[in-house]
Amino acid sequence: MEKMDLINEINRLKIEKNAVIMAHYYQRKEIQDIADCIGDSLALAQWAAKTDADIIVLCGVHFMGETAKILSPNKKVLVPDVAAGCSLADSCKAAEFAEFIRKNPGHKVISYVNTTAEVKALTDVVVTSTNARQIVESFPEDEKIIFGPDRNLGNYINSVTGRNMLLWNGACHVHEQFSVRKIEKLKEVYPDAKVLVHPECKGSVVSLADKVGSTAALLKFAVNSDSNVFIVATESGILHEMQKQAPEKTFIPAPPEDSSCALNDCNYMKMNTLEKVYNALKNETPEIIIDKELSEKAVKPIARMLEISEKLGL
Interface contacts to ligand SF4, rule CB under 6 A: 61, 86-88, 114, 172-175, 235, 266, 268-269
* CA gap 19, 52 in Å, rounded: 9
Q: Minimum distance between the CB of residue 5 and ligand SF4, rounded to whole angstroms?
A: 30
Kindly give, in sequence order, each residue whose CB lies less than 8 Å from that of residue 266, ignoring residues fewer than 6 positions away.
26, 61, 174, 235, 237
Q: Minimum distance between the CB of residue 192 and ligand 13P, rounded to whole angstroms?
A: 25
E-assigned strands of 48-180? 55-59, 76-78, 108-112, 125-127, 145-148, 166-167
Contact 208, 236 (CB under 8 A): no
Q: Which stretch binds ligand 13P (CB under 6 A): 73-81, 127-135, 181-189, 251-259?
A: 127-135
Q: Interface with ligand 13P includes 114 (CB under 6 A)?
A: yes
Task: Please say which residue, 53 or 156, places its beta carbon nearer to ligand SF4.
Answer: 156
Task: Please say which residue, 163 or 198, places its beta carbon nearer to ligand SF4.
Answer: 198
* CA gap 298, 314 in Å, rounded: 21
| Contacted by 115, from ligand SF4, ligand 13P, none: CB < 5 to 8 Å by type | none
| Contacted by 268, from ligand SF4, ligand 13P, none: CB < 5 to 8 Å by type | ligand SF4
Q: What is the largest CA-CA distance in the chain?
A: 59
Q: Minimum distance between the CB of residue 81 and ligand SF4, rounded to whole angstroms?
A: 13
| Contacted by 87, from ligand SF4, ligand 13P, none: CB < 5 to 8 Å by type | ligand SF4
Q: Interface with ligand 13P includes 172 (CB under 6 A)?
A: yes
* CA gap 232, 209 in Å, rounded: 10
- Using DSSP, state whether 62 is helix, strand or coil: helix
| Contacted by 128, from ligand 13P, ligand SF4, none: CB < 5 to 8 Å by type | ligand 13P
Q: Interface with ligand 13P includes 131 (CB under 6 A)?
A: no
* Residue 127 phi, psi dihedral angles, 5° rounding: -135, 160
Q: Minimum distance between the CB of residue 171 and ligand SF4, rounded to whole angstroms?
A: 9
Task: Please say which residue, 48 or 88, places its beta carbon nearer to ligand SF4.
Answer: 88
- The DSSP bridge partners found for residue 248 are none
Q: Which amino acid is at 141?
A: E
Q: Kindly calculate the radius of gyration of the chain based on its CA atoms and give it in whole angstroms.
A: 19
Which uninterrupted H or E stretch holds 212? strand 211-212
Contact 254, 264 (CB under 8 A): yes
Task: Please say which residue, 110 or 172, places its beta carbon nearer to ligand 13P.
Answer: 172
Q: Which stretch binds ligand 13P (CB under 6 A): 102-110, 126-134, 158-166, 181-189?
A: 126-134
Q: Minimum distance between the CB of residue 86 and ligand 13P, rounded to whole angstroms?
A: 7
* Residues engaged in binding ligand 13P (CB under 6 A): 40-41, 114, 128-130, 172, 200, 214-215
